[in-house]
Amino acid sequence: MQTIIQTNETTLSNDFSPKTAAICFWSIVGFFAVIWVLLPTLFHTGYRIHDVIELQSISKEWVLSTRKHPMLPAWILEIVNILTNRNFAAPFIASQICVMITLWSVWQLGRKVLSEKSALIGALAILPYYFFTYHSLVYNQNTVLIAFWSLSVYFVFQAFQTNRFLYWILSGLAIGFAFHAKYPAAFLVLSILIFMFTRSEGRKLWCGIRPYLTTIIAFLIFLPHLVWLYQNDFATFDYANNRHIYSDSIYRILAPMLFTIYQMEYWFSILIVLYPALGFAWNWKLKILENKNEKIGEQYLFYCFIIPFLLCITISMFKNCWLSASYSAPFWTFLGIWLLLRFQVNESPNTFFNTVKLTILLELIMCLLLIISVFTPYVNGQQKKQLFPTRELGIQCDQIWYSKFNTPCPFVSGEWAICGYAGWAMRDSPRVHFYWNIYHDGINYLNEKPTGTWSADSDVNQQGGMIFWQLSDKPDNYIPDWLHKRFPNAEIMTEPIILPYKTRAKVPPLKVGVAIIPPTD
């Protein structure tokens, strides 16, 4: 059967052998993966954004979804937790696994359309990407989506190129799991379909069974989540539909404009690393693509980032809503490869070595930012989530609980960030029963079991547990109004937990109110 892309039999450059390129790739990528696991483990005692502790709490439950997102990232995190005995570094390890999968996908696709050297340059261009460095400390749905998005782009490209059953099957697996990470995977699927149906070779592929096999596999993988959606009244769609909606029509123009401007933050590192190969942007010269393999590769990658980007802008405009710039995180992973395909490349022998130098420089700058962030409380006197006294909180909670009861604590609940940290740090790892916020997006979840959770207030009241609330800027005897409405049998501790953040800077301590519900036995 005719395929879209003809295999490129000739070697485009003899600068690197495949073995040398592989050694370079894994040495550089592996080294920085270790660095981005070690640095936060050494310098941080908490997680930079509460998304991480939220996933830590959810991962133990093995749920299909919550009212916010599908839960593949939580499953992956729990596997790493089990393998590392719930080490603090587990989210950082999971994040770097996703980063390496993404970089491998970019590198492998680059090797199909570029020389070994250029493919390696294209992979290095994305290594200092914001989401692979400083923001990689925030393991969440975006982290996993980027990995499976990139795998999908590569496997589908190979399926077009070879028309082998293996790659059509792998494409279905990657796309199915991408949907289990986050719904914007649909943007990529639409891009691929548009690419296929606008070309006669692509349309002919649908005369065979292979694309349908991909579709069936992806559908079957995502089917359990679709059943969950139906059973829970499509709760995730309600959650997404009610976020960041503006009443002023000016945001129909302003929000898409700002979304576009913020993309430059992500392009910046790619353009810097590619400077030795391409020069300054205003000096770029278009390359005449005579090789069919290169032509189709360039067009395919262009579709895979420009169509999702335009869809985001369109949604923002018509919904009059703000889209976080991080939603575009997967779009630009192949940007370096596309630029090397589309524009003339400097073939100087020093090009690769200068690229490596810039990559290492940017990586070191991002590492320095991580270290500097630890010392910002000395400047602004503010608490840092990265310096949260996680272990100390767990020790205090265990002491309070076991001073009264001789049985493991079944539940922790209350304000979700605090109870999430307590549930992770306490020695018996109690289940975390939380609402993402008592009042979230204008909806009151008081005395209601939010869709997608694994427990209700009645479970905590019957089985017992510890309840927490923040006392920052409040008197020590403050009692939130929801406490006795939700937990009428809760016994309030007279003394709050007061712990200093893990810094010698003068910052307000962590102050936590505590209540206890006696266990059934």
For 113-127, write each residue's pLDDT tens digit. Answer: 999 999 999 999 999
pLDDT attached to residue 44: 95
Q: Assess whether pLDDT exceeds 50 at residue 448.
A: no
Q: Residue 73 pLDDT > 90, yes or no? A: yes
Question: Are the C-beta atoms of residues 96 and 33 closer than 8 Å to each other?
Answer: yes
Q: How far apart are CA 432 and CA 61, in angstroms?
A: 9
Q: Is the pLDDT of residue 262 over 80?
A: yes
Q: Give pLDDT, residue 15.
A: 63
7 pLDDT more than 80? no
Q: How far apart are CA 315 and CA 241, in angstroms?
A: 11
Give the containing element (helix H, strand E) for 165.
Answer: helix 165-181
pLDDT for res 446:
42
Model confidence pLDDT, tens digit, residues 134-155: 999 999 999 999 999 999 999 9
Banded pLDDT at 74 (limits 50, 70, 90):
very high
| Percent helix, percent strand, percent coil in the chain, to nearest 5 | 60, 5, 35
For the full predicted model, state whether its pTM sits above 0.75.
yes
Q: Tens digits of per-residue pLDDT, 20-35? A: 999 999 999 999 999 9
pLDDT tens profile 451-503: 557 888 888 999 999 999 999 888 888 998 889 888 998 999 989 999 999 99
- Residue 11 confidence (pLDDT): 36
Q: How far is CA 12 from CA 112, 119, 183, 297, 339, in A?
A: 10, 11, 38, 15, 17
195-236 residue pLDDT tens: 999 988 889 999 999 999 999 999 999 999 999 999 888 888
Nearest-angstrom CA–CA distance, 236 and 238: 5
pLDDT at residue number 435 = 62
Q: What pLDDT was estimated at residue 244?
A: 66
Instruction: Give the residue-averaged pLDDT of 76-104.
Output: 96
What is the pLDDT at residue 318? 85
Checking if the pLDDT of 160 tops 50, the result is yes
Longest distance between any two alpha carbons in the chain, whole Å: 78
Q: What are phi and psi of 433, to 5 degrees?
A: -105, 105
Using pLDDT thresholds of 50, 70 and 90, give the confidence band for residue 243.
low
Cβ distance 337 to 122 under 8 Å? yes
Which residue shows structure tokens 């590492």? 367
Residue 474: Cβ-neighbour burial (10 angstroms; 0-12, 13-18, 19+): middle
Long-range residue pairs from 78-87, CB within 8 A, at least 24 positions apart, any chain: 81/56, 86/424, 86/429
Q: Residue 442 above 50 pLDDT?
A: no
Give which of 68, 298, 308, 81 is closest to 193, Cα–Cα.
308
pLDDT (average), residues 328-352:
93
> Is residue 324 pLDDT above 90, yes or no?
no
Could you tell me which residue, 410 or 2, shows the higher pLDDT? 410
d(C-alpha 406, C-alpha 352), whole Å: 63
Residues making up the chain, counted from first to last: 521
**CA distances to 102, 296, 334 from 162, in Å:** 21, 13, 20
Residue-level pLDDT at 27: 96
How much is the pLDDT for 46? 93
Tokens of 190: 């639409």
Domain boundaries in the chain? Answer: 18-371, 385-517
Tell me the percentage of the chain whose pLDDT exceeds 90: 67
DSSP 465-514: EEEEEE-TTS-TT---TTHHHH-TTPEEPSS-EEE--SSSS--PPEEEEE
When pLDDT is averaged across residues 394-408 and rounded to a whole number, the result is 94
Who contacts 196 (Cβ-Cβ below 8 Å, separation ≥6)? 202, 203, 205, 206, 211
Q: Which residue has the higher pLDDT, 279 or 448?
A: 279
Summary mean pLDDT of the chain: 89
